[in-house]
Amino acid sequence: MRDKDLFVKIEQAVIEGEKVEVEKRVNEAIGLNLDALEVVNNALVRGIDKVGELWENGDYFLPELIVSAEAMKAGMDLLQPILGTEKGSAMAKGTVVIGTVEGDIHDIGKTLVGSLLAAKGFEVHDLGADVPINKFLAKARETDADIIALSALLTTTMVEQKNLIEKLTESGDRDKFKVLVGGAPVSPEWAEKIGADGTAPDAMSAVRLALSILEEK
Amino acid sequence: MLTFLEAVQERPIVFDGAMGTELLARGLVIEKGTSPELWNVTNSGIVQEIHQSYYDAGADVVLTNTFGGTQPKLAKLGLGDRVHELNFAAAKLAKEIVPPEKYVAGDIGPTGLMLPPMGAAKIDDFVKAFAEQAAALWSGGVDLFTIETMFDLREAAAAVEAVRKVSEDVPIIASMTFQKKKRGFFTIVGDTPDKCFRTLEEAGANLVGSNCSLNSDEMASLFDEYNQATSLPTFAEPNAGQPQIDDKGQTYYTQTPEAFAEDIARISELGVRVVGGCCGTNPSFISKIAERLKG
């Protein structure tokens, strides 16, 4: 099978959420010594990008999203060891620490953004939900993160985003990290008000934002 | 006194507005070891005040302060062993002050558990959690049940099933949360309003409807399209716009009581029999609605 056909098959399998098929075809690509980075970018990521479009349009819903994300992740898991040895550094676009703020247990959107960022080549440390500020900062410093991404779904918990930025400013290393904020109650006005480096209304634009933020750095 | 179902046939029924924000305004702080439901025991007077303010504003029905009252939800705050106590207390305190000719609805919200592929829960987990909550509310004397803000139809159906285990004929309102997408209204899991209404009727609900997520204008569009999809009486509780934070760090919602009430009047004209307000509403919203609908 020609490389291009194989890529299309992988992309389709991601769109259809066919985990076993993704694994089979990715293994085929590995067996043919195809460039791992190309498999990621031209097959897996293309697939998940299409899934993101389908989600935004209201063609795909949460179950489809999760199943596709898992299929894609299965492909990534197979390629990770190869990427790690070959072009690991070229692959890693940047490091992100992501989580839902303390007091807030909503995590679907945050997990989705994390998965898509990982799919796009970021090293992602997803701390889960109900994460205290100290934990975010500790992980960001430990991993020398580029971006701290905070999700909040309640107006009562989004103030934690403001608090984290204040804490960073107090400790003198505000400039070391880009802080991105998101979640249903978060608006561009809020992001600006609290001194965040950006916000995005949904997962796909969050990923675009993260990529452009890194280009600025 | 008319039964709730008789009242629904007779006249427009007005539910209450948001409880969470009223509690927050009165000092509730949400952190481990505390929850809105805990206030049914530790601050029952305040919860009663809130219910009273809604009855005074013209609500026919208030929802018990038990939205997060299932075991899985309470367990996350360390209160998982107090399901019966908190739900029973919630029902009891509302029944203590319910005015004549008015009603108390046992409020049942999502468990936070999710079915595959989103999570690892099974239908039985839902039924078990809801049955425990419903039994406590029923012992506390609620007149009806409102299963609300459900985004997974299977969870909602499990809730209806669980309530029916507790009582074969208590009135049940089953309300789903929909998003407005380019292609139309869907739950986050992908079910349409007509599919939801049909499934919930089959499960045993007496009324079906929608609450939360949508503002009153969007909710009116939903019922314009879907009120005819069911022969059951319908229920609508929109949000008052989206939450914003002002310069003082206070949360406010973007819709005014007057504008909201206008949309609610439209919704009522479409044939929706039971209306109320969800996030962002307060007694002033409910009194505007009551004015508009009852003259």
Place of tokens 């004397």: B141
Tell me what percent of the residues of chain A surpass a pLDDT of 90: 56
Average pLDDT over residues A171-179: 95
Taking alpha carbons only, the member of B221, B203, B213, B254 closest to residue B237 is B213
> Which among B118, B184, B244 has the least Cβ separation from residue A187?
B244
Which residues have C-beta within 8 Å of that of residue A175, sequence separation ≥ 6? Answer: none
Q: What is the pLDDT of residue B32?
A: 64
Instruction: Judge whether A213 and A120 are in contact, CB under 8 Å.
Output: no
Residue among A56, A106, A130, A156 with most chain B CBs within 10 A, to mutate:
A156
Contact A62 B189 (CB under 8 A): yes
Residues of chain B where predicted confidence (pLDDT) is lower than 50: none
| CA gap A148, B16 in Å, rounded | 40
Four-residue CA torsion sign, A79, A81, A85, A90: positive
Q: Residue B24 and residue A159: Cβ atoms within 8 Å?
A: no
pLDDT of residue B249: 66
Distances (CA, A) of A1 to A6, A9, B228: 7, 10, 53
A155 falls in which pLDDT band (50, 70, 90)? confident
Residue A67's identity, in one-letter code, is V
ipTM of the complex: 0.80
State yes or no: pLDDT of A86 exceeds 50.
no
Q: What is the pLDDT of residues A20-50, one digit of tens each?
A: 999 999 999 999 999 887 898 889 988 988 9
Which pLDDT tens digit goes with each residue over B99-125? Answer: 999 999 999 999 989 999 888 999 999
Question: CA A48 to CA A26: how far, in whole Å?
Answer: 15
pLDDT confidence bin for A109, thresholds 50/70/90: confident
**DSSP-assigned beta bridge partners for residue B13:** B274
Find, among A96, A100, A178, the residue nearest to A132 by Cα: A100
Q: What does the pLDDT read at residue A87?
A: 40
Higher-scoring residue by pLDDT: B260, A62: B260
Q: Which residues of A touch B244 (CB under 8 A)?
A: 185, 187, 189
**SS3 of residue A149 by DSSP:** strand
Residues of chain A neighbouring B25 (CB-CB closer than 8 A) = none
Whether the predicted pLDDT of A172 surpasses 90? yes
Q: Got the DSSP string for A107-143? A: -HHHHHHHHHHHHTT-EEEE--SSB-HHHHHHHHHHH
Q: B76 and A105 in contact by Cβ < 8 A?
A: yes
Strand partners, B53: none
Indicate the pTM of the whole model. Answer: 0.83
For chain A, the average pLDDT equals: 88
CB within 8 Å: B118 and A64 = no
Name the band, by pLDDT with cuts 50, 70 and 90, for residue A91.
low
Nearest CB neighbour to B182, from listed A58, A62, A190: A58
Instruction: Name the one residue in this structure whose structure tokens are 């009153």.
Output: B216
- Token pair recorded at residue B269: 């004209």
| A159-171 vs A133-143: helix crossing angle, rounded to 10 | 50
- Of residues B163 and A52, which shows the higher confidence score? B163
**Residue that is written with structure tokens 């620490």 in the block:** A97
- State residue B228's pLDDT score: 96
* pLDDT at residue number A84: 55
Which tokens sit at B102? 């008015």
pLDDT confidence tier of residue A202, bands split at 50, 70 and 90: confident
Q: What is the pLDDT of residue B7?
A: 97
Q: Which residue has the higher pLDDT, A2 or B17?
A: B17
Q: What percent of chain A has pLDDT over 70?
A: 94
User: Per-residue pLDDT for A88 more than 50?
Assistant: no
- pLDDT of B50 reads 98
